[in-house]
Chain A
Amino acid sequence: MVSQTTTTICPFCGVGCGLNLHTEDDRLISVTPQLDHPVSRGQLCSKGWSSAYGVDLRGRILHPLIRTPRGFRQASWDEALTTIGEALQQVLNEDGPMAVGIISSARATNEDNYAAQKLARAVLKTNNIDHCARICHSPTVAGLKQTLGSGAMTNSAADIFETDLIVVFGADPTENHAILGGHIMRAHLAGTKLIVVDPRRTRLAKLADMHLQLKPGSNIALINALIKTILDNHWQDSEYIEARCEGLVPLAAAVANAYDGVERTTGIDLETIREMARAYSKASRAMIFYGMGITQYVSGTNNVIALSNLALVCGQIGRPGTGINPLRGQNNVQGACDMGCLPNVYPGYQAVADLAARDKFSHAWKTALPEQPGLTSLGMSKAALDGSFRALILFGEDPVITDPDQNQERLALSKLDLLVVAELTMTDTARMADVVLPAASFAEKSGTFTNCERRVQHVRQALPPPGEARGDWQWLAAIARQLGSDQLDWSDSEAVFREMAALTPSYSAMSYPHIDEHCGLQWPCSAETPDGTAVLHSNSFPIGRARLIPVHPTEIDESADAEYPLLLTTNRLHFHYGCGSMTRKSPLLEREIPPGLLFINPADARDLGILHRAPVGVRSRRGYLETCAMVSEDLPPGLVSMPYHFREAPSNQLTNNAQDPVTKMPELKACAVAVEPLPPGRVPRSMDQLNAEQGGIER
């Protein structure tokens, strides 16, 4: 009856809401919101409320498992580590460090991510380190780094209540970042103007003052037309541009013809474009939020640059209630990037290519560091297919479900000599592993997460890890030791954080006690700003002057055609997260899965003879799956949409892996598909059934 309460942070999305975990005899009995949390203020979304079910011991992996021809067998940590150590050593001896790599997790703590990249660089001597930001926000990092010098949200959640206009661009915050989405609703109801730009009629679009239902992939065409309108009418903030930006002339030249064909390309009339341009440029404070509807295109990086151009010409960066604010998906995707779990940067975005930075880390870690740039996660998959990449350590991710082009991904993983997966439960990726390690959940470890507004927050352990499960940095350290290195031998999470903060300028004034004192600290937090920074770029940009960089519309890689007449986009459902391995353990969230997973406009459904909830087959150039249709007005004709959380009907069977040339970000937001009705009463076959019937790749 008497329970203990541990305050911690929600493990699901980048909002980073404050949670109280109530435990009784080492059992999690309930979860409640923290009343005084600076972001969530006593609220949670359905995922947060259900997080107690997610760490439930049912279905948890409790011991290391080793693959045998007859399936997995339980093994001791010693045996598992020996197996991993020997296999790694063999690959390293035969093919060198470029043949091994680590994919870390945007769900894991900063400490875990720091440890992962250190294991890769200082022990394995490779820069083959990546995490899933690739499939959400690498264009953000690449784009904003060029234009502003920093790839994070410029402002804070609290600014939502201090602005006059909110523009939500290609994002669905009430589903993906529910509590922030709620704040936007609240501000809007209290009088803040709201403009939504999205091909789908999202919840916010239904409430907004303006909804620009643009055609998928036409972001740059629209944004350039907005900029042209602003410049033509002299609505820009000339003083700001003068003082803080460079490159206006080439930008003005580049957008001069932006009206040509824009109504056709975007599906938005000039009058509406003008109205939005006026509203945004004339607002005394306007905030842009954007999401995967900007980044998940082959033109992802350019899309981000275009948005940045728009904000800069209007002087809407650097003050409270303004800014350009990427909504990052996973709870710690910001932190995983900050920690340098990217092939080209060390912690704090210090470039691997920069000799001084390399020296700094080499000196601190007392070891030589690799020069050769690393592979991205998709690069590792590609290299696996041709046999040049052979051993992968992966944790907290289920790329078989979440990465584009599932069949290629499976094939790539099946080619590896060694696949190590650390997980809570048996995911599809874990099923392909040679060694599976039992990982600890967020409730069973301590460390920090960095939310989307750069707030570093303390995650506290409420429960002991079940069975033989271990925290991520702890088992990463064990692998290092197996390879004869004591690089990762920290005494506790706080020691990891101290080492990291000393090497990461934007975290340099942070410590656990200081974080606790402030309910989280927003970076940069250094000697100059010891209590953190709510608004970035107030006085100057890290690169001095912000850059206006002309970008031109690019067509989507695969448009609809006669054979594949519909465009498929992906979306998320607010009650599920990632591959669903945690959220689907809740009986409530599991029940919430809609009876149909392919959202389709009534007109298209009528043309194809598809009834509401009727079974359908969906085919693209890369794959085929079966599911049920949800006929919905929320999609425009010609566009269909699928959530990607469900292994029964994974949308990534279908999606295109054409990539953004800069970041290799795959174009998840648009690919061509054909949809056909199945005979009435037919139960859609799951992916496992289809694979079994068609002799799919199984190891």
Chain B
Amino acid sequence: MMSCYLLDTLERLHSHLARVYQIVQPLEDVGQSAPPLVSPKGYFFAEQENLFVFDGECFRETLPQPPPFVLFGVQSCDLTAIAYQDQFFARDPYYQARRQQALLVGIDCVTPCEHGFCASVDAGPGVKAGCADLILHARPEGGWMLMVCSDKGGEAIRGMELDQMDDTELRARDRRIDDCIAAFPDDSHLHRGIAAISQGRVPDQQWQQLGIQCLGCSGCTTLCPTCSCYGTRDLSEDQGDIRRQRFWDSCLYESFQREASQHNPSEEAGERVRRFWTHKFGDNFAKTFGRYGCVGCGRCEQTCPGVIGVHSVMRRIADYAPDDDV
């Protein structure tokens, strides 16, 4: 059972944490309803990262050394994505070097955001205990609930004078989260679409049709908090050193899989669009990671100029769902 305290102002928590941690607040306003356009994944899986340096004699690994930092006020969809990426990058030394330094402070959502559907994919709107070190919840009567859900979180607030809160508060929190879930708009297209994709019922022509609309802008993969593909390149430094850099890549680019011989297994745009959506809603991925890759943040819907964000796609393919899955 997590312990729960009453916090009068966020500033108090801020200044307490600031003694140890550099504070990073991705939201303009903790408590706003929409997640920030840019997901926090870049704090761990950097948009451009140096892997190693070759000095003419040796290859030297260049691990990042960030100071301890706190991501202050991250919503449940993004925290769920971080938990997903924690698994995916479990053995990636660069990711882990950043991740080990981070404290995660979650914030419960109590009103649905415009494109989000976390509740439909088990990723919110309330923060799950396993996804954060501390959780904040705004009390309608003023002040905040502060829940501690890891040792690291407990350690971080040690020394703060806080009053413990009882179960009734926690139950009130659950109620408010349930109310929020109930307030999300109809999501039947999502359930039907998920069934259609994960059962492989969407025909090739449908993907090809969607493929025509994909401009290969990389917006979806850049903003999606569970996208993780990267490319690499070598860059020459002034002193003659050479560094290998990795940078975010996108499986929607025509050249993503093109080989040096020009053979390209995913030459068709439709195949690439299918790849993206299978990665988000394929049952086999779910088997590996314990959940779907999509955490319902809705960013792809916002940013896709080709109108193939999640709601648009799901509406188009919902009809392929098996009938009993309504």
A-B pair count, CB < 8 Å, reads 98
A588, B37: Cβ atoms under 8 Å?
no
Query: Cβ of A574: which chain B residues have Cβ within 8 Å of it?
Result: 215-216
Binds B, one of A65-73, A135-143, A174-182, A672-680: A174-182
B217, A44: Cβ atoms under 8 Å?
yes
A35, B262: Cβ atoms under 8 Å?
no
A354 at the interface (CB under 8 A from B): no
Give the distance in Å from the alpha carbon of A10 to the alpha carbon of B67 in the complex: 33
B306, A42: Cβ atoms under 8 Å?
no
A185 at the interface (CB under 8 A from B): yes
B258, A2: Cβ atoms under 8 Å?
no
In the complex, the chain B residue whose C-beta lies closest to that of A205 is B212
Known: A43-B304, A185-B213, A595-B262. A2 touches B235 (CB 8 A): no
A484 at the interface (CB under 8 A from B): no
Give the distance in Å from the alpha carbon of A315 to the alpha carbon of B24 in the complex: 56
A32 at the interface (CB under 8 A from B): yes
Q: Helix, strand, loop or mixed for chain B's interface?
A: loop
Known: A44-B219, A185-B213. A1 touches B305 (CB 8 A): no
In the complex, the chain A residue whose C-beta lies closest to that of B232 is A587
B222 at the interface (CB under 8 A from A): yes
B319 at the interface (CB under 8 A from A): no
Query: Cβ of B67: which chain A residues have Cβ within 8 Å of it?
Result: 1
CB-CB contacts below 8 Å: A570-607 with B: 574-575, 587-588, 591-595
What is the total number of residues of chain B having a CB less than 8 Å from a CB of chain A?
37
Give the distance in Å from the alpha carbon of A595 to the alpha carbon of B258 in the complex: 10
User: Which residue in B216, B218, B258, B306 is a CB contact (below 8 Å) of A185?
Assistant: B306
Give the distance in Å from the alpha carbon of A613 to the alpha carbon of B22 in the complex: 53
A30 at the interface (CB under 8 A from B): yes
In the complex, the chain B residue whose C-beta lies closest to that of A613 is B262
B206 at the interface (CB under 8 A from A): no
In the complex, the chain A residue whose C-beta lies closest to that of B212 is A206
Give the distance in Å from the alpha carbon of A45 to the alpha carbon of B217 in the complex: 5
B231 at the interface (CB under 8 A from A): yes
Give the distance in Å from the alpha carbon of A22 to the alpha carbon of B207 in the complex: 35
CB distance from B190 to the nearest CB of A (A): 19
User: Which residue in A1, A178, A181, A182 is a CB contact (below 8 Å) of B22?
Assistant: A1
B122 at the interface (CB under 8 A from A): no
A46, B255: Cβ atoms under 8 Å?
no
A604-643 Cβ-contact flags toward B at 8 Å (1 or 0) = 0000000001000000000000000000000000000000
What is the total number of residues of chain A having a CB less than 8 Å from a CB of chain B?
38
CB-CB contacts below 8 Å: A35-75 with B: 35, 42-46, 48-50, 58
Query: Cβ of B262: which chain A residues have Cβ within 8 Å of it?
Result: 595, 613
B307 at the interface (CB under 8 A from A): yes
B302, A42: Cβ atoms under 8 Å?
yes
In the complex, the chain B residue whose C-beta lies closest to that of A587 is B233
B185 at the interface (CB under 8 A from A): no
Of A35, A49, A207, the most chain B CB neighbours within 10 A belong to A49
A587, B231: Cβ atoms under 8 Å?
yes
Known: A29-B48, A58-B235, A185-B213. A43 touches B219 (CB 8 A): yes
Known: A30-B47, A588-B250, A588-B253. A35 touches B213 (CB 8 A): no
Give the distance in Å from the alpha carbon of A178 to the alpha carbon of B215 in the complex: 8
A552 at the interface (CB under 8 A from B): no
Give the distance in Å from the alpha carbon of A2 to the alpha carbon of B48 in the complex: 16
CB distance from A574 to the nearest CB of B (A): 6
B42, A182: Cβ atoms under 8 Å?
no
A43, B233: Cβ atoms under 8 Å?
no
Query: Cβ of B271: which chain A residues have Cβ within 8 Å of it?
Result: none
User: Which residue in A1, A58, A181, A594 is a CB contact (below 8 Å) of B24?
Assistant: A1
Known: A33-B303, A591-B255. A46 touches B37 (CB 8 A): no
In the complex, the chain A residue whose C-beta lies closest to that of B256 is A591
Query: Cβ of A35: which chain B residues have Cβ within 8 Å of it?
Result: 37, 302
A594, B305: Cβ atoms under 8 Å?
no
A502 at the interface (CB under 8 A from B): no
A152-177 Cβ-contact flags toward B at 8 Å (1 or 0) = 00000000000000000000001000
B46-60 Cβ-contact flags toward A at 8 Å (1 or 0) = 011000000000000
CB distance from A684 to the nearest CB of B (A): 13
Query: Cβ of B37: which chain A residues have Cβ within 8 Å of it?
Result: 32-33, 35, 42
CB-CB contacts below 8 Å: B212-230 with A: 212-213, 215-219, 222
Known: A30-B42, A43-B305, A182-B307. A575 touches B216 (CB 8 A): yes
Known: A185-B306, A613-B262. A49 touches B254 (CB 8 A): no
CB-CB contacts below 8 Å: B223-276 with A: 231, 233, 235, 247, 249-250, 253-255, 258, 262
B183 at the interface (CB under 8 A from A): no
B47, A49: Cβ atoms under 8 Å?
no
Binding site for A on B (CB under 8 A): 22, 24, 37-38, 42-43, 47-48, 66-67, 69, 212-213, 215-219, 222, 231, 233, 235, 247, 249-250, 253-255, 258, 262, 302-307, 312
Additional pairs, 12, CB under 8 Å, beyond known A35-B302, A58-B235, A182-B304: A1-B66, A35-B37, A44-B305, A46-B253, A49-B222, A50-B218, A178-B305, A181-B215, A186-B307, A207-B213, A575-B216, A592-B253
What are 7 residue pairs bridging A and B, where the CB atoms are less than 8 Å apart in the complex? A43-B305, A45-B217, A182-B305, A588-B218, A588-B231, A591-B255, A592-B255
- What are the nearest 8 A-B pairs in CB distance? A182-B305, A591-B255, A43-B305, A595-B262, A46-B217, A42-B302, A587-B233, A186-B307
